[in-house]
């Protein structure tokens, strides 16, 4: 255990990225300048994996007095859209981060095009008229060299002319590409004459319209964009480690040795159990209607988690707890669920909600009388205050809190004379019940003891159980959406079964006609509550005064731990 003095926060061990940065600062790299960037491609909404990248990109800049920019790597107009640009920006802000500058890779289209021309003139790039499939077939394997294109040694002037005409719109999409001329036998497959430019005329670019007919490939744009911006530490996930030498090679062709260049370092991706973390798969879930949009509360997207009731703090605490390493792995979703419970424990007011209501009539309570009782908002937070609960003769309680023939260890309502406390109210004893023709219990009767009111001396009387209630006349109807894990297996992508069969059929259950206490009438969308004894819930974004909707964020305890044991 680390012992710290009271005024000091315990010093966490530095992760390997922080260690590297501190080392670079010590050695005076780039004159001690720190600049990072978060480089999303605007082809989908952010997911919690991206948050891991966001936290380190912005976190490093913040911690070491540097700056972090937001740069959209918008090099593929076929898949990109302004809708995504806007949502990415607002998600980053919601998470509590601020970028210094907003950039787009498309800001560099001219610079990148000029570089491509330079590469051609230097004999380091050529126009290949083969199809993408043929080029792929000629790549070879890691152990066998690739085959050189018949166009590889065409005259520089020919490539120059063709490339310029590619950009004028003289040729059809897919009819030719520009390739870097490196080495078809290179041990790193990415060096085998990678495609660096392609023709796209089918989709206008969301920023540059139809100005360009050729677009740089991600690999040709990403590293150079970092360079143009002066990024000192280019942080990304491990799958880019094998691309790093290529990014360096591109820069080596036009920058002197020893001069400034970005330093790319890679960390492990975030993968979480019972979900998938790839925009492609998430898009599939949305497009096939397997979920209700990108912000479906079962999605691992930032907008989905927010709608589910996750707070920015809980997500950032979760990311902080898992850390950054060089080893790929899978994080148990229960850690994320733990983070939101911990965050909401002192923050969320605790209220009564009845999901399967049954009438409770207190036969010795005066008819038409109402009494205002006071209850604590949150016993774990002294500052949370109290609120009023109107009490009366007719209440709703949870059907499962009553049993006609109860076993000995059932401590709630049953006609055996046992005393039960109504939350923040009185002690009652069940005296009988009524059934309908089908044998379903429709009403439960009880008497109350007026000397046992909570908050008075008689309120200290101990009984075995306390049950929740709402007043029949003041409670409000609500729809409750019980969300659970989206998939029924830990790693859906590793399963042999079809993706569709793995969706948890119980991932969404909708309950209508739930009764919640009157204090929730004005609850704002996205505010969090604990429904006593049930779990944490949040008001849905589409909830209105006339149609209250609550989403289950998480149950009070991890119910899956048992299931999977
Ligand atoms: P996906 O693989 O989910 O489709 P992506 O990598 O294509 O996402 P980008 O928009 O290119 O998405 O990613 C922006 C940044 O976020 C990159 O630096 C990338 O390394 C990082 N990132 C993406 N997914 C994860 C993840 N699961 N964990 C950590 N960082 C991630
Ligand atoms: Mg990717």
199/95 same-domain check: yes
Could you tell me the distance, in angstroms and rounded to a whole number, from the CA of residue 278 to the centre of ligand 1?
A: 8
Task: Give nearest CA residue, ligand 1 atom 9.
Answer: 40
Give Cβ neighbours of residue 51 (< 8 Å, ≥ 6 apart): 95, 270, 302, 315, 316, 319
Q: Which residues are catalytic?
A: 41, 269, 279
Q: What does the alpha-carbon distance between residue 16 and residue 327 come to, in Å, rounded to a whole number?
A: 12
Q: Does the Cβ of 42 fall within 6 Å of ligand 1?
A: no
Of the candidates 320, 317, 319, 323, the one whose C-alpha atom is nearest the C-alpha of residue 342 is 317
205/184 same-domain check: yes
- Helix, strand, coil shares, percent, the chain, to 5: 30, 25, 45
Q: Does the Cβ of 50 fall within 6 Å of ligand 1?
A: yes
The DSSP secondary-structure symbol of 107 reads G
pLDDT tens column, 487-523 = 999 999 999 998 889 999 999 999 999 999 999 999 9
Give the pLDDT band of residue 10 (cuts 50, 70, 90): low
The CATH number of the domain holding residue 423 is 2.40.240.10
Task: Give nearest CA residue, ligand 1 atom 26.
Answer: 49
pLDDT tens column, 522-559 = 999 999 999 999 999 999 999 999 999 999 999 999 87
Q: Which of 102-106, 220-224, 416-420 has the weakest average pLDDT?
A: 416-420
- Whose tokens are 């048992």? That residue is 562
Ligand nearest to the CA of 41: 1
Ligand nearest to the CA of 44: 1
413/460 same-domain check: yes
Residue 274 lies in a domain: no
pLDDT tens column, 330-389 = 999 999 999 999 999 999 999 999 999 999 999 999 999 999 999 999 999 999 999 999
Task: Give nearest CA residue, ligand 1 atom 14.
Answer: 40
Q: What does the alpha-carbon distance between residue 208 and residue 109 come to, in Å, rounded to a whole number?
A: 9
pLDDT tens column, 194-220 = 999 999 999 999 999 999 999 999 999
Are 194 and 214 in contact by the 8 Å Cβ rule? The answer is: no
Task: Give nearest CA residue, ligand 1 atom 1.
Answer: 278
Q: Does the Cβ of 194 fall within 6 Å of ligand 1?
A: no
Ligand 1 atom nearest the C-alpha of 270 is 28
Could you tell me the distance, in angstroms and rounded to a whole number, from the CA of residue 328 to the centre of ligand 1?
A: 14
Beta strand 476-483 with 394-398: parallel, antiparallel or unpaired? Answer: unpaired
Task: Give nearest CA residue, ligand 1 atom 27.
Answer: 49
Give Cβ neighbours of residue 534 (< 8 Å, ≥ 6 apart): 353, 355, 555, 556
% residues pLDDT > 90 (the chain): 94
Residue 284 lies in a domain: yes
Give the pLDDT band of residue 1 (cuts 50, 70, 90): very low
Ligand 1 atom nearest the C-alpha of 278 is 3
How many CA atoms does the CB half-sphere of 311 hold within 13 Å?
18
Test site for ligand 1: of 49, 104, 234, 300, most ligand atoms within 8 A of the Cβ: 49
Ligand nearest to the CA of 271: 1
341/377 same-domain check: no
Give the pLDDT band of residue 254 (cuts 50, 70, 90): very high
The CATH number of the domain holding residue 202 is 3.40.50.620
Q: Does the Cβ of 269 fall within 6 Å of ligand 1?
A: yes
Of the candidates 21, 94, 29, the one whose C-alpha atom is nearest the C-alpha of residue 324 is 21
pLDDT tens column, 137-194 = 999 999 999 999 999 999 999 999 999 999 999 999 999 999 999 999 999 999 999 9
Could you tell me the distance, in angstroms and rounded to a whole number, from the CA of residue 45 to the centre of ligand 1?
A: 11
Single out the residue in 232, 267, 302 at which a domain terminates: 267
Give the per-residue pLDDT at 563. 63
23/135 same-domain check: yes
Residue 6 lies in a domain: no
Residue 9 lies in a domain: no
Strands (E), 313-456: 349-351, 353-354, 357-362, 370-376, 386-392, 394-398, 419-422, 427-435, 441-449
Average pLDDT in the 90-117 region?
98
Q: What does the alpha-carbon distance between residue 296 and residue 485 come to, in Å, rounded to a whole number?
A: 12
Residue 134 lies in a domain: yes
Of the candidates 130, 258, 148, 227, the one whose C-alpha atom is nearest the C-alpha of residue 193 is 148
DSSP, collapsed to helix, strand or coil, labels residue 165 as: helix
Number of domains in the chain: 3
Test site for ligand 1: of 17, 51, 53, 273, most ligand atoms within 8 A of the Cβ: 53
Single out the residue in 449, 468, 487 at which a domain terminates: 468
Could you tell me the distance, in angstroms and rounded to a whole number, from the CA of residue 77 to the centre of ligand 2?
A: 16
Single out the residue in 468, 487, 519 at which a domain terminates: 468
Ligand 1 atom nearest the C-alpha of 53 is 30
143/198 same-domain check: yes
Q: What does the alpha-carbon distance between residue 375 and residue 395 come to, in Å, rounded to a whole number?
A: 17
Test site for ligand 1: of 104, 221, 237, 273, most ligand atoms within 8 A of the Cβ: 237
Q: What does the alpha-carbon distance between residue 529 and residue 378 come to, in Å, rounded to a whole number?
A: 10
Q: Does the Cβ of 300 fall within 6 Å of ligand 1?
A: no
Q: Does the Cβ of 277 fall within 6 Å of ligand 1?
A: yes
Give the per-residue pLDDT at 90. 98
**Mean pLDDT computed over every residue of the chain:** 95
220/119 same-domain check: yes
Domain range for 174 is 16-267
176/208 same-domain check: yes
82/205 same-domain check: yes
Are 337 and 308 in contact by the 8 Å Cβ rule? The answer is: no
Average pLDDT in the 117-136 region?
97
Average pLDDT in the 260-267 region?
97
Are 273 and 331 in contact by the 8 Å Cβ rule? The answer is: yes
Could you tell me the distance, in angstroms and rounded to a whole number, from the CA of residue 268 to the centre of ligand 2?
A: 13
Q: What does the alpha-carbon distance between residue 11 and residue 302 come to, in Å, rounded to a whole number?
A: 29
Task: Give nearest CA residue, ligand 1 atom 10.
Answer: 40
Could you tell me the distance, in angstroms and rounded to a whole number, from the CA of residue 454 to the centre of ligand 2?
A: 58
Residue 53 has pLDDT above 90, yes or no: yes
% residues pLDDT > 70 (the chain): 97
Residue 7 lies in a domain: no
Residue 122 has pLDDT above 80, yes or no: yes
What's the N-to-C CA distance of the chain in angstroms? 31
Residue 428 lies in a domain: yes
Could you tell me the distance, in angstroms and rounded to a whole number, from the CA of residue 547 to the centre of ligand 1?
A: 38
pLDDT tens column, 269-297 = 999 999 999 999 999 999 999 999 999 99
Ligand 1 atom nearest the C-alpha of 54 is 16
Give the per-residue pLDDT at 9. 54
360/344 same-domain check: no
329/364 same-domain check: no
Give the per-residue pLDDT at 2. 42
Q: What does the alpha-carbon distance between residue 307 and residue 207 come to, in Å, rounded to a whole number?
A: 30
**Six token digits for residue 184:** 């078809």
Residue 560 has pLDDT above 90, yes or no: no
How many CA atoms does the CB half-sphere of 370 hold within 13 Å?
10
- Whose tokens are 């790549």? That residue is 139
Task: Give nearest CA residue, ligand 1 atom 13.
Answer: 40
Residue 272 lies in a domain: no
Could you tell me the distance, in angstroms and rounded to a whole number, from the CA of residue 67 to the centre of ligand 2?
A: 24
Give the per-residue pLDDT at 558. 85
Q: What does the alpha-carbon distance between residue 244 and residue 266 come to, in Å, rounded to a whole number?
A: 9
Give the pLDDT band of residue 3 (cuts 50, 70, 90): very low
218/93 same-domain check: yes
Could you tell me the distance, in angstroms and rounded to a whole number, from the CA of residue 327 to the centre of ligand 1?
A: 16
Give the per-residue pLDDT at 11. 63
Question: pTM for this structure?
Answer: 0.94
Q: Does the Cβ of 325 fall within 6 Å of ligand 1?
A: no
């Amino acid at each position: 255990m680390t012992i710290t003095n009271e005024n000091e926060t315990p010093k966490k061990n530095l992760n390997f990225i922080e260690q590297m940065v501190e080392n670079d600062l010590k050695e005076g790299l780039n004159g001690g300048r720190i600049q990072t960037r978060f480089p999303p491609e605007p082809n989908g909404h952010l997911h919690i994996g991206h948050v891991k990248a966001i936290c380190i990109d912005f976190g490093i800049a913040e911690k070491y007095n540097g700056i972090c920019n937001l740069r959209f790597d918008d090099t593929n107009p076929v898949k990109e859209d302004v809708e995504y640009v806007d949502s990415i920006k607002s998600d980053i802000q919601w998470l509590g981060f601020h970028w210094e500058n907003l950039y787009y890779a498309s800001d560099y289209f001219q610079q990148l095009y000029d570089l491509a021309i330079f590469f051609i003139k230097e004999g380091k790039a050529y126009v290949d008229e083969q199809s993408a499939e043929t080029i792929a077939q000629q790549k070879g394997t890691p152990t066998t060299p690739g085959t050189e294109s018949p166009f590889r040694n065409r005259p520089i002037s020919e490539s120059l002319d063709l490339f310029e005409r590619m950009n004028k719109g003289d040729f059809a999409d897919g009819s030719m590409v520009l390739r870097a001329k490196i080495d078809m036998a290179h041990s790193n497959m990415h060096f085998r004459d990678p495609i660096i430019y392609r023709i796209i005329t089918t989709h206008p670019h969301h920023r540059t319209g139809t100005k360009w007919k050729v677009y740089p490939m991600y690999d040709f744009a990403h590293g150079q964009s970092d360079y143009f911006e002066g990024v000192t530490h280019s942080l990304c996930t491990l799958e880019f480690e094998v691309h790093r030498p290529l990014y360096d090679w591109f820069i080596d062709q036009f920058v002197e040795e020893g001069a400034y260049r970005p330093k790319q370092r890679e960390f492990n991706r975030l993968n979480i159990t019972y979900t998938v973390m790839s925009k492609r798969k998430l898009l599939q879930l949305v497009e096939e209607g397997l979920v209700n949009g990108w912000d479906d509360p079962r999605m691992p997207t930032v907008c989905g988690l927010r709608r589910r009731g996750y707070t920015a703090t809980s997500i950032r605490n979760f990311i902080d707890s898992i850390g950054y390493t060089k080893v790929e792995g899978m994080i148990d979703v229960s850690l994320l669920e733990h983070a939101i419970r911990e965050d909401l424990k002192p923050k969320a007011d605790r209220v009564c909600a009845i999901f399967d209501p049954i009438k409770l009539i207190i036969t010795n309570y005066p008819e038409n009388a109402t009494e205002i009782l006071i209850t604590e908002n949150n016993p774990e937070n002294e500052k949370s205050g109290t609120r009023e609960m109107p009490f009366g003769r007719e209440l709703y309680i949870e059907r499962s809190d009553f049993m006609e023939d109860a076993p000995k260890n059932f401590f709630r309502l049953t006609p055996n004379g046992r005393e039960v406390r109504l939350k923040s109210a009185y002690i009652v004893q069940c005296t009988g019940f009524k059934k309908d023709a089908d044998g379903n219990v429709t009403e439960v009767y009880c008497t109350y003891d007026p000397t046992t009111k909570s908050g008075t001396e008689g309120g200290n009387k101990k009984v075995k159980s306390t049950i929740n209630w709402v007043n029949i006349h003041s409670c409000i109807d609500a729809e409750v959406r019980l969300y659970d894990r989206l998939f029924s297996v830990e790693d859906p992508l590793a399963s042999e079964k079809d993706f569709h069969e793995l969706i948890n059929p119980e991932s969404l259950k909708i309950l209508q006609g739930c009764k919640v206490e009157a204090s929730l009438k004005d609850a704002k969308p996205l505010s969090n509550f604990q429904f006593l004894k049930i779990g944490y819930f949040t008001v849905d974004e589409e909830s209105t005064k006339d149609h209250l909707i609550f989403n289950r964020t998480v149950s009070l305890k991890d119910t899956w731990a048992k299931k999977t044991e």
